[in-house]
Amino acid sequence: MHIECIYDEPAILGESPLWHPKEQVLYWVDIEKPALHCFDPQTQQHRMWSMPTAIGCIALRATGGLVAAMRYGFASIALPTGEVTMLTSPLTDADGVMFNDGKCDRAGRFWAGTKDIAEQADIGSLYKLDANNHCTEMAKGFAVTNGVAWSPDNTTFYVCNSPARIIYQYDFAIESGALSNKRVFAELPAESGYPDGLTVDSEGGIWNAHWDGWRVTRYLPTGKIDVVIKMPVRRPTSCCFGGADLKTLYVTSASTRMNTEELKENPLAGCVFAVEVGVRGLLEPHFLG
């Protein structure tokens, strides 16, 4: 598979790639140098908006702009101004956690998980934001919540606990958003790194970026490994489908917490990549709030 570096100004912690089908552009965030980025693959134009605090993830918003999980709560981001408006803040500094990864489900609800700031204790949770901006805690017990996604038929929910090297799956009820029957979907060996952000394609394949693993892996719905893409960076962080035919896998990465020698080993750390994978993805839903 051909891997192209499409944006080579490195992020510290690039995350949450999101394809905008109407604009035909890619959005993503830098959590540790808080910013929202946008890149047009056709014109090569790049835009960036500084954020007032850490921004973990984004999703499209039905009324325009984006919805985001900021450090302690949920916010809307107006475009093209980048103005941030807080919607609800369920966390405080005393909780020892912050929001991390998330996505919107096909009923128009925005889900985002939290992580232990020290990335050790299983004190993170998974939250659901409804269209009326009501926030509900849906699951507990994650050190770092990552890789939120749903199967194409909306019956299975995927989420990672990264330090444990486990991708979990739950039964999912699309009408209520209820989760049940938690079980292990995949467990990564040490040499494969840690499961980070993920996405699901139109065939039900699960694509997971492996932090410290130099790879993105496609799993079949059974949990069997189908494809491994060797990436030119040690810390790919997340992936999404985009392009006119939704067959391009966009991959973000990180340069954070690397010494000089490690950065020499992977000089493209923090850049954004495009991989033509030959499998069609799915359009990301809009938050209805």
Catalytically active residues, by annotation:
196
d(CA 207, CA 217): 6
Please state the φ and ψ torsions of residue 125, each to the nearest 5 degrees: -135, 170
Give the DSSP letter string of the chain.
Answer: --EEEEE-S--SBEEEEEEETTTTEEEEEETTTTEEEEE-TTT--EEEEE-SS-EEEEEEETTSSEEEEESSSEEEE-TTT--EEEEE----GGGSEEEEEEEE-TTS-EEEEEEETTS-SS-EEEEEE-TT--EEEEEEEESBEEEEEE-TTS-EEEEEEGGGTEEEEEEE-TTT--EEEEEEEEE--GGG-EEEEEEE-TTS-EEEEEETTTEEEEEPTTS-EEEEEEPSSS-EEEEEEESTTS-EEEEEEB-TT--HHHHHH-TTTT-EEEEE-SS---PPPEE--
Q: From the centroid of its chain, how far is CA 3?
A: 20
State yes or no: cis peptide before 80, omega within 30 of 0: yes
Please state the φ and ψ torsions of residue 138, each to the nearest 5 degrees: -105, -25
Contact present, 206 and 247 (Cβ < 8 Å):
no
